Amino acid sequence: MAGVGPRAGRYVEDVVRSFPARWRPHATSSDPLRLITTVRVLVLMGVVVSVPFAKPHLGAGDRGVAVAVTLGVVAATWIFWLLSARSLPRTVAVLTVLGLAGGVLAGLSPLSAALAVGCVVTAAAGVRLSTETSLAITAGTVAAFLAVGVATGVPTETLIGYPFAWIGLWGFGLTRHAYLLRAEQAERTLAEARRAHAAETHAAALAERARIAREIHDVLAHSLAAVSVNLQAAEGLLGTLPSGDPELAKAIECVGRAGVLTREGMAEARRAIQALRDDAVPLADQLSALAKEWEADGGVPADFNVIGTLRPVSAEAGLTAFRTAQEALTNARKHAPGQPVRISLEFSATEVAVRAVNPIGAVGGDGGPQAGAGTGYGLTGLRERAVLSGGTLAAGPADGEWRVYLRIPA
Write out pLDDT tens, residues 118-136: 999 999 999 888 899 999 9
Chain segment 20-50, per-residue pLDDT in tens: 444 444 444 456 677 888 888 888 888 888 8
Q: Is residue 110, in this structure, part of any structural domain at all?
A: yes
Whether residues 33 and 173 share a domain: the answer is: yes
Q: Is residue 220, in this structure, part of any structural domain at all?
A: no
pLDDT at 271: 65
The residue among 169, 197, 225 that closes a domain is 197
Q: Which residue has the higher pLDDT, 319 or 259?
A: 319
Whether residues 21 and 163 share a domain: the answer is: yes
* 3-state SS, one letter per residue, for the chain: CCCCCHHHHHHHHHHHHCCHHHHCCCCCCCHHHHHHHHHHHHHHHHHHHHHHHCCCCCCCHHHHHHHHHHHHHHHHHHHHHHHCCCCHHHHHHHHHHHHHHHHHHHHHCCCCCCHHHHHHHHHHHHHHCCHHHHHHHHHHHHHHHHHHHHHHCCCHHHHHHHHHHHHHHHHHHHHHHHHHHHHHHHHHHHHHHHHHHHHHHHHHHHHHHHHHHHHHHHHHHHHHHHHHHHHHHHHHHHHCCCCCCHHHHHHHHHHHHHHHHHHHHHHHHHHHHHHHHCCCCCHHHHHHHHHHHHHHHHCCCEEEEEECCCCCCCHHHHHHHHHHHHHHHHHHHHHCCCCCEEEEEEECCCEEEEEEEEECCCCCCCCCCCCCCCCCCHHHHHHHHHHHCCCEEEEEEECCEEEEEEEEEC
The residue among 167, 197, 227 that closes a domain is 197
pLDDT, averaged across the chain:
79
Q: Is residue 95, in this structure, part of any structural domain at all?
A: yes
Return the CATH number at 333: 3.30.565.10
State the total domains in the chain: 2
Whether residues 93 and 192 share a domain: the answer is: yes
Whether residues 303 and 398 share a domain: the answer is: yes
Q: Is residue 58, in this structure, part of any structural domain at all?
A: yes
List the one residue out of 250, 400, 273 whose CA is nearest residue 339: 400
Whether residues 181 and 284 share a domain: the answer is: no
Tell me which residue range forms the domain holding 353: 280-410
Mean of pLDDT values over 328-352: 89
pLDDT at 347: 93
Whether residues 175 and 318 share a domain: the answer is: no
Confidence category of residue 225, pLDDT binned at 50, 70, 90: low
pLDDT at 19: 42
Whether residues 190 and 293 share a domain: the answer is: no
Q: Is residue 244, in this structure, part of any structural domain at all?
A: no
Q: Is residue 31, in this structure, part of any structural domain at all?
A: yes
Q: Is residue 57, in this structure, part of any structural domain at all?
A: yes
The residue among 175, 197, 219 that closes a domain is 197
Mean of pLDDT values over 260-279: 67
Whether residues 164 and 299 share a domain: the answer is: no
Whether residues 289 and 193 share a domain: the answer is: no
Whether residues 300 and 177 share a domain: the answer is: no
pLDDT at 305: 94
Express as a percent the part of the chain with pLDDT over 70: 77
Chain segment 349-367, per-residue pLDDT in tens: 899 999 999 998 643 334 4
pLDDT at 244: 65
Q: Which residue has the higher pLDDT, 227 or 369?
A: 227
pTM, whole model, 2 decimals?
Answer: 0.46
Q: Is residue 149, in this structure, part of any structural domain at all?
A: yes
Mean of pLDDT values over 127-147: 92
Whether residues 302 and 184 share a domain: the answer is: no
